[in-house]
Chain A
Amino acid sequence: AQSVTQPDIHITVSEGASLELRCNYSYGATPYLFWYVQSPGQGLQLLLKYFSGDTLVQGIKGFEAEFKRSQSSFNLRKPSVHWSDAAEYFCAVAPSNDYKLSFGAGTTVTVRA
């Protein structure tokens, strides 16, 4: 069955420290890959996306993600987090033959001073 897994439900990180959020997917072929961020009570904002080409993609707000085909992973990273990065982060995939987005359960990021 097709699935998107975000293994970490909650991550706490100190301001200025690095952040990595994990995402694994299970699909037959390389799907379209996305990371979204959601602040409380708000909609989803696209951070970055991957379709093909360079496996390291840059996004907004200083985020980047690396696609690793061998591991079926698309992990999100930020070298130095800011208090404003506290939010919920969702990995999402859309199979190349079907444009419906499927989401992981999300990772909540807390930033401590």
Chain B
Amino acid sequence: DTGVSQNPRHKITKRGQNVTFRCDPISEHNRLYWYRQTLGQGPEFLTYFQNEAQLEKSRLLSDRFSAERPKGSFSTLEIQRTEQGDSAMYLCASNENSPEGGYTFGSGTRLTVV
């Protein structure tokens, strides 16, 4: 068990460019979550998957954001036409189909939009 892996760790992009992040959850976990964390704040829920199905999206997730989890394994989060306000840490977490085992978080991808 190598934990939840996120790539890249850091991404600097120019405003208006598209970026894509990847999350590899713990293999036996069927739930996968994306969170966004800005400086000095707690993580905010963006979306989650159960297997390959995206079950809920936060209102924070504008039309420029899209997430996928093909085959119910890894997930990608894409941001199109990035804005400076998108600068944040993007965290991925996974767990089994119950909170009782806890939620395992990755180290996050820090996005800086310049």
Contact = CB atoms under 8 A, between A and B. Distances in A.
Given A100-B33, A100-B48, A100-B56, A106 B42 contact: yes
> What size tier do the contact residues of chain B reach?
20 to 34
B110 A105 contact: no
A25 interface: no
B105 A43 contact: yes
Contacts of B110: 41
A17 interface: no
A37 to B, nearest CB: 11
A46 B99 CA distance: 12
Nearest to A106: B42
Nearest to A4: B42
Contact of A34 (B35, B48, B103): B103
Contacts of A44: 43, 91, 93, 105
Nearest to B108: A43
B98 to A, nearest CB: 8
B102 A46 contact: yes
A99 B31 contact: yes
Given A90-B42, A101-B45, A103-B43, A43 B107 contact: yes
Given A41-B110, A43-B105, A101-B33, A32 B42 contact: no
Contact of A103 (B4, B42, B95, B98): B42
- Kindly list the 6 A-B residue pairs having the minimum CB-CB distance in the complex, ordered from nearest: A103-B42, A43-B107, A44-B105, A32-B99, A43-B105, A94-B99
Interface of A: 4, 32, 34, 36, 41-46, 49, 51, 90, 92, 94, 99-106
26 contacts: A32-B99, A34-B102, A34-B103, A36-B105, A41-B110, A43-B91, A43-B106, A43-B107, A44-B43, A44-B93, A45-B105, A46-B102, A46-B103, A46-B104, A90-B42, A90-B43, A92-B42, A100-B33, A100-B48, A101-B45, A101-B103, A102-B45, A103-B43, A103-B44, A106-B40, A106-B42
